[in-house]
Amino acid sequence: MDSASPPEVSDAKPSFRKPANDAANWKYRCHSSADMSDSSSSDETEASNGARIMADAEEVVSMEEICEDEGGVEEEEQLDDWGDWGMDEDDSEPSYLCLFCDLSFASSHTLFDHCRAEHHFDFHGIRRALDLDFYGSIKLINYIRAQVADNKCWICGALLACKKDLQNHLHAALTLGKDVKLAWDSDIYLKPFMYEDALLHSLPPDEDGEEDYTATADKEDLMRELMCAKDLTDICIGDETGRSEEQAVDECINNNNHFEMTVVNGMAAVEDFGTSCTKQKDKQLRIAFDNVAAREIKSINEDYFGSYDSFGIHREMISDKARTQTYRDAICNNPSLMKGATVMDVGCGTGILSLFAAQAGASRVIGVDASKKMAAVAKDNGLLLEGRLNGDACCSSGVINVVQGMIEELDAFIQVPPNSIDVLVSEWMGYCLLYESMLSSVIYARDQWLRPGGAILPDIATIFAAGFGRDATSIPFWENVYGFDMSCIGREVLGDAAKFPIVDIVDSRDIVTEAVPLKSFDLATMRQDEMDFTSSFELELKTDIPKDSVNATPGVAWCYGIVLWFDTAFSGRFCKETPCVLSTSPYCTETHWSQTIFTFREAIALATSPSPSGDDSAAVGTEKCPAIRIRSRMSITRAAVYRNIDISLEITAVSLDGRKRTWPPQIFDL
């Protein structure tokens, strides 16, 4: 199970005007340039302001008329209420103030670029994810300005001591979803928080309550999809400009970076394709983009399930004794659960769990997997049930019915009555528990077919966290390579490790803090949105820390990062005779899941004694002032890339005298 390649990091920086009194900001993370085209926003803003002012006038005066009659006395009298309209152009340009710091920008586009790169605030991404309309966007902007004025984090509500601490604390909005209660969903935030906030006048409008639409499409796929339409010329431009069809599609795509085209309630389509575009044509475009996006997901699924067509990966999983033996014990050693039960195996693979269920006395087993291999295995063992579940005659006395396909598409292959499954079993776990997003398929099957009070195996899953020491990194290896010191390479590798999660085995002797539970899931009751979560926890040094984890300076040990693992329990709630636990802990037998490692940008010194002699002038977490605990906050959410997950990590070192030191958040993609 290979993790997806990490996104490339762009060095592009938006241009901005910096006030003289502004302090330098710490740069957390740089993304690629803006989602939307770089059309001049200053012109749009001037037109917007002009329209607002002229609406109050008795007579509408065009820009051309103002320029032509600028020197006339009669026209000057008409324009008395226009204030500074005739001032120098540089003075009249609107200034867009950052939502989080004191920087000002010449356009809203560069402002939002800055917010995304420096403050982890992706306005356009959040607006799309939450389907915010024009008024919802205004509420969001005013809410953030109000929170920042009080030194509060707009996402988690944390209260910080000062604006600088708030900027260091800001993190990505990983837990937002359409079903989340929005803190700014109140009409009080329609009132501008900041006087003459130019940003509120530059937000793109919505129309008729239609949803914003964004899709990332491959150029060739989009071209093929549009060619399937009745009339490509009508859809794109009405052929009024003389452009070829391919040129039209090129222009349509290239108007936004990375082949990304945004149609905001039909407005962008009008601007890009000409005034002859109608809503029907916009709808055709949306269908085209939807089809391309669906094909992308289908392609990812095909690659994912195709990787399991290889017997090598199945051998690795079956050979994982801790994994396979625990499932066998839970299924075969709980006769009151399995005898005569109807069992569904989600993601059955070679069918080893289905075979265990049949062996344990299940009356019927439905194995569902997109792989083609399992039916032959069941047939060779005399357990294959030929025929269908709708009453058709069967050709053998076997109990296993094999369905090749995704669980979400099961109804297209067989009819399984609702509430007819007694036991739902699945080995759905991925790296860091949630990688691969198979848990959502298990929850779907539970909600569709598991009877009330039915069993789900396993039924409890818990993620744990602990701090690891120096020997869990690559530093010791590079310090002595056949007698040569290559520490410079080790330091560079360690720096790279702070950008990407690493799946590897961690020796229990390299764990330097006590383990703490990060998140626990009850599979019998949890909802899919619980897969996205944020957890706060504290790490303290172990009492029995190995001597080789202690620094040369007495009383100091070093923590280089956080390692995650998980346990899945077959609890006594369903497995009454033989409860079991499958653990991927460093303290237990190694499994093919290993552990997932998140490396700090800077190692943190921890005090090994309760009363270390610390230097009050030194930074907390250093050798001269070791910390006594590490306060951590971690968010895990399903990523925009299908089947991936995103992780954000915040850490604060706390000294014995209560002083704190906070590092900028780290963002990882798995």
Task: Give the whole-angstrom CA distance, residue 201 versus residue 166.
Answer: 27
Tell me the residue length of the chain: 670
Q: Tell me the sheet residues that pair with 423.
A: 343, 455
- The pLDDT of residue 216 is 41
- The pLDDT of residue 299 is 54
Task: Give the whole-angstrom CA distance, residue 345 versus residue 343.
Answer: 7
Dihedral (Cα; 430, 431, 432, 437), 10-degree rounding: -40
Task: Give the whole-angstrom CA distance, residue 112 versus residue 667.
Answer: 19
| DSSP 8-class letter at 547 | G
- Which one is predicted more confidently, 395 or 608? 608
Nearest Cα residue to 560 out of 631, 510, 620: 510
Which residue is catalytic, options 436, 514, 590, 602?
Answer: 436
Dihedral (Cα; 306, 308, 310, 313), 10-degree rounding: 150
Which residue is catalytic, options 427, 530, 577, 590?
Answer: 427
Mean pLDDT score, 468-490: 89
Q: How confident is the model at residue 589 (pLDDT cuts 50, 70, 90)?
A: very high
Task: Give the whole-angstrom CA distance, residue 169 versus residue 159.
Answer: 10
Task: Give the whole-angstrom CA distance, residue 263 versus residue 266.
Answer: 6
Task: Give the whole-angstrom CA distance, residue 103 versus residue 106.
Answer: 10
DSSP per-residue codes, 473-485: SSHHHHH-BTTB-
Chain segment 340-359, per-residue pLDDT in tens: 999 999 988 888 999 999 99
Q: How confident is the model at residue 319 (pLDDT cuts 50, 70, 90)?
A: confident
Chain segment 49-78, per-residue pLDDT in tens: 444 434 443 333 444 444 444 444 444 444
Coil, helix or strand at residue 522? strand
Q: How confident is the model at residue 187 (pLDDT cuts 50, 70, 90)?
A: confident
- Give residue for tokens 């930074």: 619
Percentage of the chain exceeding pLDDT 90? 34
Chain segment 530-549, per-residue pLDDT in tens: 999 999 999 999 987 766 55
427 annotated active-site: yes
- Give residue for tokens 């005007």: 17
User: Which domains does the chain carry?
Assistant: 96-202 (no CATH), 311-384+398-456 (3.40.50.150), 460-669 (2.70.160.11)
Of 185-189, 417-421, 448-452, which range is least confident?
Answer: 185-189
Task: Give the whole-angstrom CA distance, residue 185 versus residue 143.
Answer: 9
Q: Tell me the sheet residues that pair with 597.
A: 502, 563
Q: What stretch of H or E contains 631?
A: strand 629-638
Q: How confident is the model at residue 664 (pLDDT cuts 50, 70, 90)?
A: very high
Whether the pLDDT of residue 89 is over 80: the answer is no
Identify whether the C-beta of residue 643 lies closer than 8 Å to the C-beta of residue 428.
Answer: no
Helices (H), 360-403: 374-380
Whether the pLDDT of residue 287 is over 90: the answer is no
Whether the pLDDT of residue 554 is over 80: the answer is no
| DSSP 8-class letter at 83 | T
